[in-house]
Amino acid sequence: MNKHITRRRFVAAAGIGALGASALAKAQESKAPTALVRGAIKPIVVSSANGNISKNSDGETAIAKAFKMITGGSDVLDAVVAGVNILELDPEETSVGFGGLPNADGVTQLDSSVMHGPKKRAGAVAAIEGVRTPSLVAMKVMQETDHHLIVGKDAAQFAKLMGFKVEPDLHTDKSRKLYLEWKRRIDPEHYLNPKTRADAGRNAAMSMIRDGLIDPLHYFGTINCNAINSNGEVCGVTTTSGLAFKIPGRVGDSPILGAGLYVDGQVGAAGSTGRGEANLFGLCSFLIVEMMRNGMPPKDAGMAALKRVAANTIEKRLLTARGTPKFDINYYMLNTKGEYAGLSLYEKVGNSPVRYAICDENGPRFVECDFLLPGTSAD
């Protein structure tokens, strides 16, 4: 007679099967987790490169602000969210928060997610309009509700109930000017069939990138920021205005737990920037954390995720002439030992190496990403 299989046994069996023989072998070889000694971990903040560009009135970048708060005793999630708020409120930053590039109808819709490792809690908002700091609303979802995700107009209404100012328009002069330029470059009649119109919109955006009007990193946008304190407590946040000139209502990976962000307090954290659809398909932040759980260093886990993305990209429209993905995607990860990595699908964007940002006892700085493929996605 078969024994009754519990839900826990079923999930465990499915998880082991999904990891594959290689990961299982590593898991069997790995030792039991080493107990963390209080104060034994060196605090560090790891983020996408834009976490070391925008500054607040004190001259601090996002990673510097977060590190200062963490080493001052603040909760790790409070610190990283305070850090990304600097970008969300920067009118010159066109991929996050206030002034982020809008959707195809000219409306700025924002996404964000947060995860708290020690508390094993999370919150997110998607397609929220009118609130400059969606990461703070995601925090309220985590703190004030039994839910993980609130979307659209109801997310804005929730924010209003939580005391946030909901504005009719999040455009800056810069974002409005770029939107109008994009509109000018697509067919002004708008009588195209859906595929042709979508192609026209993307071609217009690419031409603006070639003309230097849009930073290529800001077409997809986003900041992911993860950190650990001296007690080994890990938290993370991802926030974005999403794909520039997207279909209204489109939501990418940023607010989806396991895609744009995943944190496990016993393992570590991972997050992403770049083409959200590619990351959503593989739930790669979750994948990276699970691989770290089974003994992989952050760099190796991230590289495995990049290989998964490349293997899953088979549609001709998404491939270059050499058969590699025609887009960029980056991962940022750290484990509870304080080990970290930043990885990119390609070596460069334009003529510049892809970078990420870290802040530790030696201060904030850029580091070149390890990469899977040479050259750029445009080659």
pLDDT per residue as tens digits for the range 197-231: 556 666 665 665 566 655 554 444 699 999 999 99
Q: Please measure the distance between the N-terminal and C-terminal CA atoms of the chain and give it in whole angstroms.
A: 60
Residue 166: inside a domain, yes or no?
yes
Q: List, by residue number, the catalytic residues.
A: 222
Angle at 128 between CA 124 and CA 130, to 5 degrees: 130
Domain annotation covers residue 179: no
Pairwise CA distance, residues 63 & 221, whole Å: 17
Domain extent for 248: 44-171+214-373
- Residue 255: the pLDDT is 98
In a domain, 202, yes or no: no
Q: Is 356 inside a domain boundary? A: yes
Q: What is the DSSP letter of 257?
A: B
Q: Are 302 and 352 in contact (CB under 8 A)?
A: no
pLDDT at residue 205 in the model? 59
CA 259 – CA 5 distance, rounded (Å): 29
Dump pLDDT digits (tens) for 19-38: 444 443 443 343 333 334 44
Residue 31 belongs to a domain? no
Note whether residue 35 is domain-resident. Answer: no
Which pLDDT score, from 0 to 100, does residue 221 have?
66
What local confidence, expressed as pLDDT, does residue 39 receive?
56
Q: What local confidence, expressed as pLDDT, does residue 315 receive?
A: 93
**Residue type (1 letter), 342:** G
Q: Are strands 352-353 and 348-349 parallel, antiparallel or unpaired?
A: antiparallel
Low-confidence ranges of the chain (pLDDT < 50): 1-38, 189-192, 217-220
Domain count, the chain: 1
The 3-state secondary structure of 310-361, one letter per residue: HHHCCCHHHECCCCCECCCEEEEEEECCCCEEEEEEECEECCEECEEEEEEC
Domain-located, residue 193: no
Chain segment 117-169, per-residue pLDDT in tens:
999 999 999 999 999 999 999 999 999 999 999 999 999 999 999 999 999 99
Supply the CATH number for residue 78's domain.
Answer: 3.60.20.30
Instruction: Name 151's bridge partners.
Output: 126
Which residues fall within 8 angstroms of residue 334, CB to CB, at 6 or more apart?
44, 46, 226, 227, 228, 234, 268, 269, 298, 340, 341
Examine residue 4 and state whether it is found in any structural domain, yes or no: no
Spatial contact of 308 and 347, defined as CB atoms under 8 Å apart: no
